[in-house]
Amino acid sequence: MTLSKDFLILFGSQTGQAESIADQIYAKCIDMKLDPRLCRMDEVDKEFFIEKETFAVIVVSSTGDGDPPENAHRFFRKICRKTLASDFLSGLEYALLGLGDSNYSTYQGVPKKLDKTLAGLGGVRVLPRGEADDQVGLELVVEPWCDQLYEYLAKRFECSKDEKQIATATLADSADLEIVKDVLPGLESQLSSITMSNQDESGDGEAPSNVIPHLGIEPIPFPEEGVSLIRGSPTITADHNLRIPVAPQSFIASAVSHEKFDSTSTPWQNSDHFPGQHTPPVEARVVTVSEISADISPEEGKGKRLIEIAIQGDSPDVDSFLKDCDAGDSVYFVFPNPTKEVDFILDRLGLLALADNTLKLGVDPKSEKRDPKLPAYFPNPASLRYVLTHCVDIRRSPSRPLLRVFAEHANDAEKRRLLELCSAQGVAEFTAHVRQAGLSLVDFLIAFPSVKPPVDRLLELLPRLIPRPYSVSNHQSRHGRRIRFVYSCLKFPATTGKQYEHFGVCTEYLKSLQVGDTVQVILKEPSKFRLPPLARAGQPIWDIPLLLIGPGTGVAPFASFFQKLLAHKIQHETSGEGPLPQVKRYLFYGSRNLSEEFILKDELESLSREGVISDLVLCESRVPDSPHQKYVQDALRLRGKEIVDFITADVTPAPLIFACGDGKGLSKDLFACFSELLQTHLGKTAPEAMALLKQLKDSERYIEDVWSSGMSTPIARAAKTAIKSVTVDATVAKRPKKVWPNFFLTFRVRNQDIVTAVDSLYAALLETNVEFESKLVPSRALHVTLGVGRFENDDELKTARQALTDAITAFTATHTKPLEATFHGISNFQKRVLFGSVHPDSDPGLQLLYQCISKSFSDNSLALLDGNRAFHPHLTLAKLQIPRDMKMAKDLFQHRNADHIFGTEIIDEIMLCKMHMDKNKDEFYQVLHTITLPKL
């Protein structure tokens, strides 16, 4: 009997990342000669019946406030039905990869919930759940998780040796490997030619103009040394065995005719629905545009602007838009990609002359892709200009499959670097220099001038252009067809490989709009961020006590809440039913400088006078000696007891907390702030406070709408640092106690080469100053700290041991090669610590280990004290105390040296150690628990 190789690959995806990963898994499985079916979760009970499946690979993300993507709702509704028997899915085995962002307090909310629900219905998970974090780069986890999945599939479906080879190798085909080797010898000179092509090529006489056509900018040269987008680390450039994914199968074959294409009657994106879309696009006229505050500076942007539109026409779509739009909802603006960038791309592809001709898209009959389909969001016919302007996202960072295809259409030197970036070994460099650097397609094409891919390949691999949503900041009950928005002008500087300064793509469009212009808008599916929340739809709103926290543009949706409340008040008063009861409604709002930027000031102040807002609490962060607190968190702390009493009051209706704003860090920071308040004012332990907050979230009493726009990561980090550094007036609020760690997680560094290298470095240091002696970490006690924590009692310690064991199990299930740390270079932290740097090549394994540890500790309700910070593995060599050792610092830190080579440690055990204790005779700390990593 032949073994059936049929199984399901299921995805739930809001912005397309889970979908694209599921696509890649599907393609790989086809190569392995398996019979997967690829389905969206909302195809449940149409294309698949989950209760009839025997095996499913599931990729799902979280959106909103830990909510399922819109195309997963139907599936969740089905499996969350209370009436299902506990063996409903007893025939199902599954593998689950979750995507999320650790800046959200509901990190991995959906995958966790799904895992629990499937298990509760009898499903059996066959691999550790993957938790990919968009904050640090999804690839760091997706890649090893998929490798593990393919291994598993090869075993499960008894793949032949050849098929298994595809599963385990992810290797480039031999032709590629040839080139990988061939280009090595001349790499240095070829790389410098890339650099040169980005620089002024003059040399004799007058410099030729280097201005890039259509963009009118000059390319910014990359640094001549060090790792950058165009130059890999010494290890990767010397690697003869790059593990390179096979290029995705092509499947589009387009043809351009001589006729011009008329796009006037082309429905936007072929009327294809996207996740999150509630109505089709409707037309609106711009009726107001105004500046609320100026940009901070020409480079930084961040000014706030207001735009008001009036919905036009009468049609069922317009009716449903107007009927369904309520307080808390958002509206998508349909926008085009910037013409300059589209022209540059078309020109690079050699297609500018044909850009407006009629383009016929078809599936390539020769394609080997199974079941190839044209994306439904391309109108057909269209024109190249139309699809590049309206259908594909040219600003999102190019994916690794796209780089893989670019490599096939580049000269040899650029090909080598592109293959490095999409290789397994290049994940960390890709994450740092492409994804986190926020490079766009245009940045990339400028940096790699020889890349000239066929347009069909671009159309296959660029993600769909999704309109950007903006929160409605007024209420129809008062404004009918007029809808108002407040937006922040996002600007990105030309740094970290970005070739030109630009506004966010929708920001730029919104800024360009004038009164009288016509726009297309789409109502977003409602989320729980509504007044009243969806779960309480139809219930009276006036009585609900509200704590609303909306720094910056986050205040916008609260204006719609208040207008709805005001309309209710007016209606009640005019009906002669007597006065309404007084209800507490806090609004915490903050800006940098209230006199320069106070969004909807007059309106909020008038609402405050009307009693619709009972407490308008203002904060400003950039005004020295301001009478206001700096950040909303500080203002919450200042009223800590009052806030805790308010949110925990046992009253009906129960008070609701809403938080909204830009910057994902807000979500985690507020959560931490509330947790701290519950501990300080209610005597809760940290796990109890966390459980209480989680309960508030689950019961939809603590609801967030936090978006990330712009360089959210650095902003969030900066905000976090600022919040930490702020001191609250001790006379009015209890200063949060500094919590000192008493345990740490570590691995020791005992490789004799490293110890010898450290000893000789120490000898050299002591030659310059004998006083360093007491500051040096003895070479017998060298170690790398993976995390610190405070565990108060035996129970917590027991849990910590278990958490470490679980973490290592999860880690070794995903990381199936030896864990190494290569120490290369001497650096220092804030003039306090001298350390050996961990080379980026060994960093991904350590990052994954750290993620597994912090996840397992948080799953066990134990927090790592540095859990919010980015993890920088390092080998501490010397520690100074500031200001006492200030004088020594200058001498010590002049020993920085990026080229110092220590060696590579193969890590074989991870330990939990006590911190403040006499070191034992081995000159190391007391080890309480050790886990040995498997020998590989």
CB of 304 to ligand FAD, least distance (A): 8
Determine, following the binding rule CB under 6 A, whether residue 14 of this chain makes contact with ligand FMN.
yes
Closest CB to ligand FAD among residues 490, 804: 490
* Whole-angstrom distance, CA of residue 673 vs CA of residue 150: 42
CB of 553 to ligand FMN, least distance (A): 14
CB of 716 to ligand FMN, least distance (A): 13
Closest to 656 (Cα-Cα) out of 559, 535, 553: 535
Residue 492 binds what, of ligand FAD, ligand FMN, none (CB under 5 to 8 Å, by partner type)? ligand FAD
Q: How many CB atoms lie within 10 A of CB 293?
A: 18
Taking contact as CB under 6 A, which single stretch among the options 13-21, 144-152, 454-462, 511-519 is the one that binds ligand FMN?
A: 13-21
Closest CB to ligand FMN among residues 107, 850: 107
Counting beta carbons within 10 angstroms of the beta carbon of residue 556, is it exposed (0 to 12), middle (13 to 18) or buried (19 or more)? buried
SS3 334: coil
Closest to 656 (Cα-Cα) out of 523, 582, 526, 558: 558
Closest CB to ligand FMN among residues 526, 611: 526
Residue 13 binds what, of ligand FMN, ligand FAD, none (CB under 5 to 8 Å, by partner type)? ligand FMN
| Contacts with ligand FAD, residue ranges (CB under 6 A) | 330, 395, 438, 468-471, 485-488, 490, 492, 498, 504-507, 553, 556, 662, 705, 707-712
Closest CB to ligand FAD among residues 708, 847: 708
CB of 109 to ligand FMN, least distance (A): 5
CB of 489 to ligand FAD, least distance (A): 8
| Contact present, 836 and 784 (Cβ < 8 Å) | no
Closest CB to ligand FMN among residues 23, 283: 23
Residue 17 binds what, of ligand FAD, ligand FMN, none (CB under 5 to 8 Å, by partner type)? ligand FMN
Residue partners of 720: CB distance under 8 A and separation at least 6? 665, 669, 868
Closest to 472 (Cα-Cα) out of 462, 482, 457, 463: 482
95-111 burial, b at 16+ Cβ within 10 Å, e below that, comes to bbbbbbbbbbbbbbbbb
CB of 63 to ligand FAD, least distance (A): 8
Residue 107 binds what, of ligand FAD, ligand FMN, none (CB under 5 to 8 Å, by partner type)? ligand FMN
How many residues are given for the chain? Answer: 936
SS3 34: coil
Closest CB to ligand FMN among residues 13, 746: 13
**Among 7, 9, 10, 13, which residue interacts with ligand FMN (rule: CB under 6 A)?**
13
Gyration radius (Cα) of the chain, Å: 29
- x/- site string to ligand FMN, residues 40 to 79, per CB under 6 A? ---------------------xxxxxx--x----------
25-63 burial, b at 16+ Cβ within 10 Å, e below that, comes to bbbbbbbbebebbbbbbbebeeebebbebebbbbbbbbb
Closest CB to ligand FMN among residues 109, 144: 109
CA 575 to chain centre: 50
CA 216 to chain centre: 31
SS3 98: strand
Residue 507 binds what, of ligand FAD, ligand FMN, none (CB under 5 to 8 Å, by partner type)? ligand FAD
CA 821 to chain centre: 26
Q: Which single residue is written with the structure tokens 């035996």? A: 794
Closest CB to ligand FMN among residues 65, 176: 65
Sign of the alpha-carbon dihedral angle for 487, 488, 492, 493: positive
| Contact present, 622 and 630 (Cβ < 8 Å) | no
Closest to 669 (Cα-Cα) out of 735, 710, 717, 604: 717
CA 248 to chain centre: 24
Closest CB to ligand FAD among residues 107, 487: 487
Residue 330 binds what, of ligand FMN, ligand FAD, none (CB under 5 to 8 Å, by partner type)? ligand FAD
CB of 472 to ligand FAD, least distance (A): 8
- x/- site string to ligand FMN, residues 89 to 128, per CB under 6 A? ----------xxx--x-xxxx-------------------
CB of 674 to ligand FAD, least distance (A): 22
CB of 23 to ligand FMN, least distance (A): 11
* Whole-angstrom distance, CA of residue 343 vs CA of residue 148: 42
Closest CB to ligand FMN among residues 107, 674: 107
CB of 95 to ligand FMN, least distance (A): 17
Residue 63 binds what, of ligand FMN, ligand FAD, none (CB under 5 to 8 Å, by partner type)? ligand FMN
Closest CB to ligand FMN among residues 64, 552: 64
Residue 101 binds what, of ligand FAD, ligand FMN, none (CB under 5 to 8 Å, by partner type)? ligand FMN
Residue 337 binds what, of ligand FMN, ligand FAD, none (CB under 5 to 8 Å, by partner type)? none
Per rule CB under 6 A, count of chain residues that contact ligand FMN: 26
Closest CB to ligand FAD among residues 508, 820: 508
* Whole-angstrom distance, CA of residue 64 vs CA of residue 918: 48
Torsion of CA 570, 576, 579, 585, to 10 degrees: -20
Contact residues: ligand FMN, CB under 6 A: 13-19, 61-66, 69, 99-101, 104, 106-109, 134, 138, 707-708
